[in-house]
Structure 1
Amino acid sequence: MRLLEGQVALVTGASGGIGRGIALRFAEQGAAVALHCRTAVAAAREVASRIEDMGARAVVLEADLRDEAECRRLVRVAAEWAAAEGAAEAGAAAAGGGSLTALVNNAGVQPTRPLPGMTAAQWREVVDTNLTSVFACTQAAAEVMGPGGSVTHIASIEASRPAPEHAHYSASKAAVVMHARSAALEYGSHGIRVNTVSPGLIDREGLARDWPEGVERWTRQAPLGRLGRAEDVADACVFLASPLASWITGHDLVVDGGVSVGPAW
């Protein structure tokens, strides 16, 4: 039996990169997947087509997650789709009566900007996208999930190891980790688990060409000697959403090839 058989998951930012990898892996493991995107509709539809080719169900939903009302509408529509399709029938009794059983808060932005001279508007753009959307989507999802539901936030190792020109990003990801711990504390009595996955540097097309010195430094520092792949993050998310993690909540699962354990001197 696949690990997520009978589940229905909403993955935000699912049109490319890590989000695409999570959505595809969830489908491979038996889940029906609602794919959120803001503007990359064609890319999200391509992911949905791949999922349907596997024999799984998928739907593409558009929303601007910088808007709290849009976050709540997204979750509501995803839950209505889940119920209408009967996609969670196998897990309905344990996880929400045919509605959402899993949420992965993956959508985010990572601009670079020196802290001196950064405006409040530039700060808010990152915080609203990376953190406030997590708050609003999680709150809305918890209202439609039953016992057995899970929420996973995609954080970053920058939550504890900041990088230059990433003050807004690092702060938002540190807050995401603490939000998950707080939500785990308060939603545990509802049978809902909340965790984070903190990736390190994840490979993408053209990264080695665009940032050769960074890739070289990373692979030299990483005990496992390579960059991460979207599938590495996706596998961690599958685990946390699965029955294998039924007694895990409030945890930050670091997926970085061991870079975080390396000495800084």
Structure 2
Amino acid sequence: MTLLAGRVALITGAGGGIGRGIALRFAQEGAAVALHCRTAVEAARELAAEIGERAVVLPGADLTVEDECRKVVAQAAEWGGGRLDALVNNAGVQPVRDLPGMTAADWRAVVDTNLTSVFACTQAAAEVMREQGGGTVTHIASVEARMPAEGHAHYCASKAAVVMHARAAAREYGPYGIRVNTVSPGLIDRERLAEAWPDGMRRWREATAVGRLGHPEDVGDACVFLASRMASWVTGHDLVVDGGASARSTW
């Protein structure tokens, strides 16, 4: 048996590495997946072709705009025959900018993409889920919600807020059968990362308990669990997926 058979899911930012891993795992567990992408349209189409008829690409929506969040949720639900059982808020950005030199525009660009989109997409999806008697929402946060990094002040703050949004949303949407959680990944391997940041990869491997970086499918597995009936009593929770890096000694 598959964990998500018959479910309809919307994955935002599905053209990127983590989004692809999440979408693939949802499809492998039986879900029909709507793949939102803003710029990585070709990658999303290749992914949809790999999945087959249980996937559709919803390109172009700028999730910093509330109306476009509502539009992409409505498109996903329409494609799903009026249902939307799961939303994964994965779309996000992670620019590097030192805090003393950061402008308000720099700050807003990250907060609007990483946080405001989560608020607007969740609100729109919850309206559909409430009418059908429930559903699940999972935000992709980060270990940087708790562990600051230089040059990432705007990113860290946005992800910390995403975790708290899920906790608040879990309380307010719970009576309608809607569960809201977060997944906080550590460093996830991607193409050309070894060439771009070899020292960082080495330090991350040494910091983990299992001796490796994460894979997109590791994040996908966590999202599948939280969207499944196996997590029917789990809401308002932040599931850290970092290979044990957060469990290391601090002295």
**RMSD over aligned Cα atoms:** 0.8
Q: Which amino acid in structure 1 is aligned with residue 163 of structure 2?
A: V
Q: Which amino acid in structure 1 is aligned with residue 239 of structure 2?
A: L
Give the match for residue 161 of structure 1. 147
Distance of 1:15 and 1:73 partners within structure 2: 18
Distance of 1:195 and 1:203 partners within structure 2: 23
Q: Which consecutive unaligned segments of at least 5 residues does structure 2 have?
A: none
Across the two proteins, how many residue pairs are aligned to each other?
248
Q: Which amino acid in structure 2 is aligned with residue 187 of structure 1?
A: Y
Q: Residue 75 in 1 paired to residue 73 in 2?
A: yes
Alignment of 1:189-200 (within 5 A): 189-200=175-186
- Secondary structure at 2:44 match in 1: helix
- Secondary structure at 2:80 match in 1: helix
What CA deviation, in whole Å up to 9, does each residue of 1:117-172 have, x standing for no partner?
20000000000000000000000000001334000000000000011000000000
Q: Which amino acid in structure 2 is aligned with residue 79 of structure 1?
A: A
Give the match for residue 29 of structure 2. 29
Q: Residue 259 in 1 paired to residue 245 in 2?
A: yes
Distance of 1:135 and 1:221 partners within structure 2: 33
Q: Residue 134 in 1 paired to residue 92 in 2?
A: no
1:101 to 81, 85, 89: 85
Distance of 2:73 and 2:28 partners within structure 1: 22
Q: After superposing the two structures, state which structure 1 stretch, 140-149 or 42-51, moved more.
A: 140-149
Give the match for residue 8 of structure 2. 8
- Alpha-carbon distance, 1:101 to partner: 0.2
Q: Which amino acid in structure 1 is aligned with residue 108 of structure 2?
A: R
Q: Which consecutive unaligned segments of at least 5 residues does structure 1 have?
A: 84-97
What CA deviation, in whole Å up to 9, does each residue of 1:5-52 have, x standing for no partner?
000000000012000000011000000000000011111100100110
What CA deviation, in whole Å up to 9, does each residue of 1:210-235 have, x standing for no partner?
10110111111111110000010000
Distance of 1:261 and 1:103 partners within structure 2: 29
Q: After superposing the two structures, state which structure 1 stretch, 213-222 or 134-143, moved more.
A: 213-222
Q: Residue 111 in 1 paired to residue 100 in 2?
A: no
What CA deviation, in whole Å up to 9, does each residue of 1:43-91 have, x standing for no partner?
1100100110xxx5111112111111100111011111111xxxxxxxx
Give the match for residue 93 of structure 1. none
- Alpha-carbon distance, 1:264 to partner: 2.4
Q: What stretches of structure 1 move > 4 A for 4+ residues in a row?
A: none
